[in-house]
């Protein structure tokens, strides 16, 4: 059996199209244009690429983009001052501070300084707590994108056996929370997990967010399973995921490729969250199909 490819690139393009329509409708009906501010500190080349594509896609869906590039030497209080100004700026509905920050900066303090209603990455402690307790939250973009792909493929997720490999605050944990809120039966694996292959063989859904190239073996995959590969690993062979794609593809029912799977969903969901944040701050209903 050869698995179906889950085309995240095409799904994300469709999602951005729907966002653009809703942005245009919001402007026409209410005279509001959503605004997204992206803050980049330092010269990390991968971060610079992400920030450029975020800026381009923000414009493509008709939102206002504000990019703030700060030098590597930026002091903590200067960064916090900028976040405070963006919090107070009515034209800015979403704020994203590109991670990782240079080592001398306190990442947790900076993230938690973002106003929760503008926290389109969903990384503040308040939004993480809301997600964990089933309250209306801003949901981290990558797990939100994975959930959309899973729902599109599988429909209802209730009762399904799901394995999330990785427990980071930005992917693994919020992914597990989202699957739990969909009433899946969720196992979260990490570096201390025993018998990962055995857990994997039981799972109808595998979300791999490990950060190790081709780590999940084809022989671990349950026949027919849906495999979401979050990993982005730069190797001599180019970009590869956390799943041994060629081998897993022979066993799984459906699988996301890397690149072209989860990656494009992350930026699309950032735009979705910005539109949601804009609607909420103006007391409008949540936009159609963009929230969990
Ligand atoms: P982290 O490094 O923060 O977390 C990795 C997780 O994998 C940890 O929980 C770690 O366990 C676990 N892990 C490490 N080794 C093993 C092992 N041998 N067995 C089981 N679990 C293990 O990474 P992120 O969550 O930030 O990112 C994961 C991957 O996803 C990376 O490749 C990253 O580049 C990619 N990514 C892709 C995005 C996209 O847009 N597509 C967005 C964000 C990330 P422990 O906690 O015990 O250390």
Give the residue, by CA position, lying nearest to ligand 1 atom 15.
Answer: 191
pTM here is 0.98
pLDDT score at 186: 98
What angle (nearest 5°) sits at the alpha carbon of residue 207, between those of residues 206 and 209? 140
Which of 3.30.70.870, 3.30.1150.10, 3.40.50.10860, 3.40.50.1220 would CATH assign to domain 31-115?
A: 3.40.50.10860
Domain ranges of the chain: 31-115, 141-263
pLDDT digit string (tens) for 252-279?
999 999 999 999 999 999 999 999 999 9
Angle subtended by helix axes 262-281 and 45-60, to nearest 10 = 60
Quote the ligand 1 centre to 233 CA distance (angstroms): 10
Number of the ligand 1 atom closest to the C-alpha atom of 258: 41
Same topology, domains 31-115 and 141-263? Answer is yes
Say how many Å lie between the CA of residue 165 and the centre of ligand 1. 8
Point out the residues that are catalytic: 54, 98, 121
Give residue 159's region: left, alpha or beta (phi > 0; psi -120 to 50). Answer: left
Summarize pLDDT for 78-103 with one digit per residue, the tens.
Answer: 999 999 999 999 999 999 999 999 99
Q: What is the phi/psi pair of residue 21, to 5°?
A: -65, -40
Q: Mean pLDDT by 10-residue block, N- to C-terminus, for the chain (292 residues)?
A: 95 98 98 98 93 96 98 98 98 97 98 98 98 97 98 98 98 98 98 98 98 98 98 95 98 98 98 98 96 94
For 25, the enclosing helix (H) or strand (E) is: helix 8-30
Q: What are phi and psi of 228, to 5 degrees?
A: -110, 115
Ligand 1 centre to CA of 214 (Å) is: 13
Rounded CA gap, 190 and 167, in Å? 6
Task: Give the Cα separation of 179 and 143 in Å (integer).
Answer: 9
Looking at residue 145, its pLDDT comes to 98
Kindly give the distance from the C-alpha atom of residue 188 to the centroid of ligand 1, in angstroms, as a whole number. 12
CATH of 141-263, one of 3.40.50.300, 3.90.79.10, 3.20.20.140, 3.40.50.720: 3.40.50.720
Ligand 1 pocket, residues with Cβ under 6 angstroms: 142, 165-168, 170-172, 189-193, 196, 209-212, 230-233, 242, 262-263, 266
Residue 1: per-residue pLDDT: 74
Distances in whole angstroms, Cα of residue 147 to Cα of each of 43, 151, 202, 229, 260: 32, 6, 20, 12, 16
């Amino acid at each position: 059996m050869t698995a179906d490819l889950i085309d995240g690139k095409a799904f994300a393009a469709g999602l951005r199209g729907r966002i653009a329509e809703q942005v245009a409708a919001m402007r026409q009906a209410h005279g509001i244009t959503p605004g997204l501010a992206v803050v980049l500190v330092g010269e990390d080349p991968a971060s610079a690429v992400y920030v450029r594509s975020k800026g381009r896609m923000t414009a493509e869906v008709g939102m206002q983009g504000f990019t703030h590039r700060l030098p590597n030497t930026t002091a903590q209080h200067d960064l916090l001052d900028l976040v405070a100004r963006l919090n107070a700026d009515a034209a800015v509905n979403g704020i994203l501070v590109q991670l990782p920050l240079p080592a001398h900066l306190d990442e947790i303090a900076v993230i938690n300084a973002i106003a929760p209603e503008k926290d389109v990455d969903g990384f503040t402690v308040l939004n993480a707590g809301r997600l964990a307790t089933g309250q209306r939250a801003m949901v981290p973009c990558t797990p939100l994108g994975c959930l959309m792909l899973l729902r599109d493929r599988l429909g209802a997720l209730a009762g399904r056996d799901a394995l999330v490999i990785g427990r980071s605050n930005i992917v693994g944990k919020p992914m597990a929370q989202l699957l739990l809120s969909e009433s899946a039966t969720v196992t979260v694996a990490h570096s201390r997990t025993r018998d990962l292959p055995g857990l994997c063989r039981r799972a109808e859904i595998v979300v791999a967010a490990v950060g190790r190239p081709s780590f999940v073996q084809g022989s671990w995959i349950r026949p027919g399973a849906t495999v979401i590969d979050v990993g982005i690993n730069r190797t001599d062979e180019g970009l590869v995921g956390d799943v041994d794609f060629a081998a897993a593809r022979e066993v799984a029912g459906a699988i996301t490729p890397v690149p072209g799977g989860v990656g494009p969903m992350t930026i699309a969901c950032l735009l979705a969250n910005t539109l949601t944040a804009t609607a909420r701050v103006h007391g409008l209903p949540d936009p159609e199909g963009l929230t969990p």
